[in-house]
Amino acid sequence: MKRALSAAMLAAALVGTSLVYAAGPAVDQQKFEENKQKKEWMSQGGERDEALNLKPNKDNGRDVYEVCSACHQPEGWGLVDGTFPQLAGQHRSVIIKQLADIRDGHRDNPTMYPFALPSEIGGTQAIADVAEYIAILRMNPENGVGKGDDLALGAKLYADNCVRCHGPDGAGNADKFYPRIQGQHYEYLVRQYRWIKEGKRRNSNPEMVEQIKNFTDKDTLAVLDYVSRLKPPADLVAPKGWKNPDFK
Protein backbone atom coordinates (compact mmCIF):
# COMPACT_ATOMS: atom_id res chain seq x y z
CA MET A 1 0.00 0.00 0.00
CA LYS A 2 1.21 3.46 -0.82
CA ARG A 3 1.73 5.47 2.34
CA ALA A 4 3.84 8.43 1.30
CA LEU A 5 2.09 11.48 -0.01
CA SER A 6 3.29 12.37 -3.47
CA ALA A 7 3.60 16.02 -4.39
CA ALA A 8 1.45 15.43 -7.44
CA MET A 9 -1.39 14.01 -5.38
CA LEU A 10 -1.23 16.84 -2.91
CA ALA A 11 -1.34 19.35 -5.74
CA ALA A 12 -4.26 17.54 -7.34
CA ALA A 13 -6.21 17.52 -4.08
CA LEU A 14 -5.56 21.15 -3.39
CA VAL A 15 -7.01 22.18 -6.73
CA GLY A 16 -9.94 19.83 -6.26
CA THR A 17 -9.16 17.36 -9.04
CA SER A 18 -10.78 14.03 -8.46
CA LEU A 19 -8.44 11.09 -8.39
CA VAL A 20 -9.12 7.50 -9.30
CA TYR A 21 -7.81 4.69 -7.14
CA ALA A 22 -7.29 1.14 -8.21
CA ALA A 23 -6.28 -0.68 -5.02
CA GLY A 24 -7.67 -1.07 -1.50
CA PRO A 25 -11.16 -1.68 -0.10
CA ALA A 26 -13.87 -0.15 -2.27
CA VAL A 27 -15.88 2.90 -1.25
CA ASP A 28 -19.67 2.57 -1.41
CA GLN A 29 -20.12 5.53 -3.73
CA GLN A 30 -23.91 5.45 -3.66
CA LYS A 31 -23.99 5.52 0.13
CA PHE A 32 -21.46 8.36 0.10
CA GLU A 33 -23.66 10.44 -2.22
CA GLU A 34 -26.71 9.73 -0.03
CA ASN A 35 -24.87 10.74 3.11
CA LYS A 36 -23.78 13.99 1.48
CA GLN A 37 -27.43 15.02 1.42
CA LYS A 38 -27.92 14.37 5.13
CA LYS A 39 -27.54 16.38 8.31
CA GLU A 40 -26.78 13.79 10.92
CA TRP A 41 -24.75 14.02 14.11
CA MET A 42 -24.61 10.34 15.10
CA SER A 43 -24.94 8.30 11.95
CA GLN A 44 -25.74 4.61 12.15
CA GLY A 45 -23.92 1.72 10.55
CA GLY A 46 -20.69 3.42 9.47
CA GLU A 47 -17.12 2.69 10.51
CA ARG A 48 -17.24 4.69 13.75
CA ASP A 49 -18.47 2.07 16.19
CA GLU A 50 -16.41 -0.69 14.65
CA ALA A 51 -13.21 1.41 14.80
CA LEU A 52 -13.88 2.34 18.42
CA ASN A 53 -13.97 -1.35 19.34
CA LEU A 54 -10.88 -2.49 17.45
CA LYS A 55 -7.60 -2.97 19.29
CA PRO A 56 -5.35 -0.22 17.94
CA ASN A 57 -1.89 -0.86 16.57
CA LYS A 58 0.14 2.24 17.28
CA ASP A 59 3.03 1.25 14.99
CA ASN A 60 0.71 1.04 12.05
CA GLY A 61 -0.83 4.30 13.28
CA ARG A 62 2.55 5.93 12.87
CA ASP A 63 2.85 4.61 9.32
CA VAL A 64 -0.64 5.82 8.44
CA TYR A 65 0.05 9.22 9.99
CA GLU A 66 2.82 9.89 7.50
CA VAL A 67 0.29 10.87 4.85
CA CYS A 68 -1.55 13.09 7.33
CA SER A 69 1.63 14.83 8.44
CA ALA A 70 1.91 16.62 5.10
CA CYS A 71 -0.96 18.87 6.18
CA HIS A 72 -1.41 18.43 9.93
CA GLN A 73 2.41 18.58 10.39
CA PRO A 74 4.65 15.85 11.81
CA GLU A 75 3.86 16.99 15.37
CA GLY A 76 0.10 17.03 14.72
CA TRP A 77 0.07 20.72 15.59
CA GLY A 78 -1.63 22.03 12.44
CA LEU A 79 -0.98 25.61 11.34
CA VAL A 80 -1.50 28.75 13.39
CA ASP A 81 -3.47 30.31 10.51
CA GLY A 82 -6.08 27.57 11.01
CA THR A 83 -5.83 26.06 7.52
CA PHE A 84 -5.06 22.73 9.14
CA PRO A 85 -6.32 22.03 12.65
CA GLN A 86 -4.20 20.76 15.47
CA LEU A 87 -5.01 17.07 15.93
CA ALA A 88 -2.52 16.26 18.71
CA GLY A 89 -4.20 15.51 22.01
CA GLN A 90 -7.70 15.27 20.57
CA HIS A 91 -9.81 12.48 22.09
CA ARG A 92 -9.45 9.21 20.22
CA SER A 93 -13.23 8.91 20.01
CA VAL A 94 -13.52 12.35 18.40
CA ILE A 95 -10.79 11.65 15.85
CA ILE A 96 -12.45 8.36 14.94
CA LYS A 97 -15.87 9.99 14.61
CA GLN A 98 -14.65 12.86 12.46
CA LEU A 99 -12.54 10.60 10.24
CA ALA A 100 -15.39 8.13 9.76
CA ASP A 101 -17.78 11.02 9.00
CA ILE A 102 -15.37 12.50 6.45
CA ARG A 103 -14.85 9.10 4.81
CA ASP A 104 -18.54 8.27 4.51
CA GLY A 105 -19.83 11.70 3.42
CA HIS A 106 -21.31 13.04 6.67
CA ARG A 107 -18.72 15.82 6.89
CA ASP A 108 -17.37 17.66 3.85
CA ASN A 109 -13.61 17.90 3.60
CA PRO A 110 -12.67 17.88 -0.09
CA THR A 111 -9.04 18.81 0.64
CA MET A 112 -8.42 15.84 2.84
CA TYR A 113 -10.86 13.29 1.46
CA PRO A 114 -8.58 11.67 -1.16
CA PHE A 115 -5.93 11.04 1.51
CA ALA A 116 -8.34 9.48 3.96
CA LEU A 117 -9.70 6.86 1.59
CA PRO A 118 -9.37 3.15 2.36
CA SER A 119 -7.28 2.79 -0.82
CA GLU A 120 -4.77 5.28 0.64
CA ILE A 121 -4.55 4.36 4.30
CA GLY A 122 -6.43 1.07 4.70
CA GLY A 123 -9.79 0.03 6.11
CA THR A 124 -11.44 0.55 9.51
CA GLN A 125 -8.39 -0.77 11.37
CA ALA A 126 -6.34 2.12 9.96
CA ILE A 127 -8.78 4.61 11.48
CA ALA A 128 -8.39 2.96 14.88
CA ASP A 129 -4.60 2.90 14.54
CA VAL A 130 -4.04 6.47 13.39
CA ALA A 131 -6.46 7.84 15.99
CA GLU A 132 -4.48 6.11 18.72
CA TYR A 133 -1.25 7.59 17.39
CA ILE A 134 -2.63 11.14 17.16
CA ALA A 135 -4.45 11.17 20.49
CA ILE A 136 -1.24 10.65 22.46
CA LEU A 137 0.90 13.17 20.57
CA ARG A 138 1.60 16.08 22.88
CA MET A 139 0.02 19.39 22.00
CA ASN A 140 1.26 22.65 20.46
CA PRO A 141 2.52 25.01 23.19
CA GLU A 142 1.95 28.03 20.92
CA ASN A 143 -1.46 27.73 19.30
CA GLY A 144 -3.00 30.66 17.48
CA VAL A 145 -5.13 32.96 19.64
CA GLY A 146 -7.51 35.87 18.98
CA LYS A 147 -6.95 39.58 19.52
CA GLY A 148 -7.62 39.48 23.26
CA ASP A 149 -9.81 42.58 23.24
CA ASP A 150 -13.10 41.12 24.50
CA LEU A 151 -12.16 38.38 26.92
CA ALA A 152 -14.55 39.28 29.73
CA LEU A 153 -17.50 38.90 27.36
CA GLY A 154 -15.95 35.68 26.05
CA ALA A 155 -15.60 34.23 29.54
CA LYS A 156 -19.21 34.99 30.40
CA LEU A 157 -20.55 33.52 27.17
CA TYR A 158 -18.41 30.44 27.64
CA ALA A 159 -19.60 29.82 31.19
CA ASP A 160 -23.24 30.22 30.19
CA ASN A 161 -23.26 28.31 26.90
CA CYS A 162 -20.36 25.91 26.51
CA VAL A 163 -19.22 24.51 29.85
CA ARG A 164 -21.92 21.88 30.08
CA CYS A 165 -20.48 20.08 27.06
CA HIS A 166 -16.89 21.25 26.50
CA GLY A 167 -16.13 21.53 30.25
CA PRO A 168 -14.78 24.48 32.26
CA ASP A 169 -11.35 24.29 30.59
CA GLY A 170 -12.42 23.17 27.10
CA ALA A 171 -11.27 19.58 27.60
CA GLY A 172 -14.45 18.14 26.04
CA ASN A 173 -15.76 14.69 26.86
CA ALA A 174 -14.37 11.61 25.14
CA ASP A 175 -17.30 9.34 26.00
CA LYS A 176 -19.78 11.76 24.50
CA PHE A 177 -17.69 12.72 21.43
CA TYR A 178 -17.46 16.34 22.62
CA PRO A 179 -14.16 17.61 21.21
CA ARG A 180 -11.30 19.08 23.18
CA ILE A 181 -11.28 22.73 22.06
CA GLN A 182 -8.64 24.10 24.47
CA GLY A 183 -5.31 24.78 22.74
CA GLN A 184 -6.86 24.76 19.25
CA HIS A 185 -5.97 27.47 16.74
CA TYR A 186 -8.32 30.45 16.95
CA GLU A 187 -8.83 30.71 13.18
CA TYR A 188 -9.85 27.08 12.96
CA LEU A 189 -12.23 27.45 15.90
CA VAL A 190 -13.89 30.43 14.20
CA ARG A 191 -14.31 28.63 10.87
CA GLN A 192 -15.78 25.49 12.41
CA TYR A 193 -18.05 27.39 14.77
CA ARG A 194 -19.52 29.42 11.91
CA TRP A 195 -19.98 26.30 9.82
CA ILE A 196 -21.72 24.57 12.73
CA LYS A 197 -23.96 27.59 13.29
CA GLU A 198 -24.83 27.88 9.57
CA GLY A 199 -25.35 24.15 9.08
CA LYS A 200 -22.45 23.77 6.64
CA ARG A 201 -20.83 21.28 8.99
CA ARG A 202 -23.57 18.71 8.57
CA ASN A 203 -22.42 16.29 11.28
CA SER A 204 -22.60 18.88 14.04
CA ASN A 205 -24.40 18.41 17.32
CA PRO A 206 -27.99 19.76 17.09
CA GLU A 207 -27.98 20.76 20.76
CA MET A 208 -24.91 22.92 20.20
CA VAL A 209 -26.54 24.51 17.14
CA GLU A 210 -29.57 25.35 19.26
CA GLN A 211 -27.39 26.72 22.06
CA ILE A 212 -25.53 29.19 19.82
CA LYS A 213 -28.28 30.23 17.44
CA ASN A 214 -28.62 33.76 18.90
CA PHE A 215 -24.90 34.50 19.00
CA THR A 216 -23.89 37.65 17.12
CA ASP A 217 -20.59 37.77 15.27
CA LYS A 218 -19.14 39.81 18.14
CA ASP A 219 -20.20 37.08 20.58
CA THR A 220 -18.69 34.40 18.36
CA LEU A 221 -15.29 36.08 18.13
CA ALA A 222 -15.26 36.90 21.86
CA VAL A 223 -16.09 33.37 23.02
CA LEU A 224 -13.61 31.74 20.64
CA ASP A 225 -10.84 34.15 21.58
CA TYR A 226 -11.47 33.06 25.16
CA VAL A 227 -11.47 29.37 24.13
CA SER A 228 -8.20 29.72 22.21
CA ARG A 229 -6.54 30.86 25.46
CA LEU A 230 -7.81 27.95 27.59
CA LYS A 231 -4.76 25.92 28.55
CA PRO A 232 -4.65 22.15 28.24
CA PRO A 233 -3.19 20.30 31.26
CA ALA A 234 0.60 20.75 31.26
CA ASP A 235 1.27 17.03 30.80
CA LEU A 236 -0.58 17.07 27.47
CA VAL A 237 1.55 19.89 26.05
CA ALA A 238 4.95 19.50 24.34
CA PRO A 239 7.94 21.72 25.05
CA LYS A 240 8.39 24.66 22.67
CA GLY A 241 10.16 23.70 19.48
CA TRP A 242 9.61 19.93 19.97
CA LYS A 243 10.09 17.92 16.77
CA ASN A 244 8.46 14.55 16.32
CA PRO A 245 11.35 12.05 16.18
CA ASP A 246 9.13 9.59 14.27
CA PHE A 247 9.38 11.78 11.18
CA LYS A 248 12.99 12.91 11.12
Binding site residues for heme c, as ranges? 68, 71-72, 112, 162, 165-166
Output 111 or 242, the one with its CB closest to ligand HEC: 111
What is the DSSP secondary-structure string of the chain? ---SPPHHHHHHHHTT------SSSPP-HHHHHHHTT---SS-SSSSHHHHHHSPP-HHHHHHHHHHHHHHH-TTS---TTSSS---TT--HHHHHHHHHHHHHTSS--TTTHHHHSHHHH-SHHHHHHHHHHHHTSPBPTT------SSHHHHHHHHHHHTHHHH-TTS--BGGGTBPP-TT--HHHHHHHHHHHHHT-STTS-HHHHHHHTT--HHHHHHHHHHHHTPPPPGGGBPPTT---GGG-
Provide the annotated binding site.
68, 71-72, 112, 162, 165-166
Output 57 or 109, the one with its CB closest to ligand HEC: 109
CB of 231 vs ligand HEC, minimal distance in Å: 16
Output 215 or 239, the one with its CB closest to ligand HEC: 215
Output 166 or 229, the one with its CB closest to ligand HEC: 166
CB of 160 vs ligand HEC, minimal distance in Å: 8
Site residues (vs ligand HEC, CB under 6 A): 10, 13, 41, 64, 67-68, 70-72, 84-85, 87, 95, 97-99, 109, 111-112, 115-116, 121, 130, 157, 161-162, 164-166, 177-179, 181, 189, 191-193, 203-205, 207-208, 211-212, 223, 227
CB of 60 vs ligand HEC, minimal distance in Å: 12
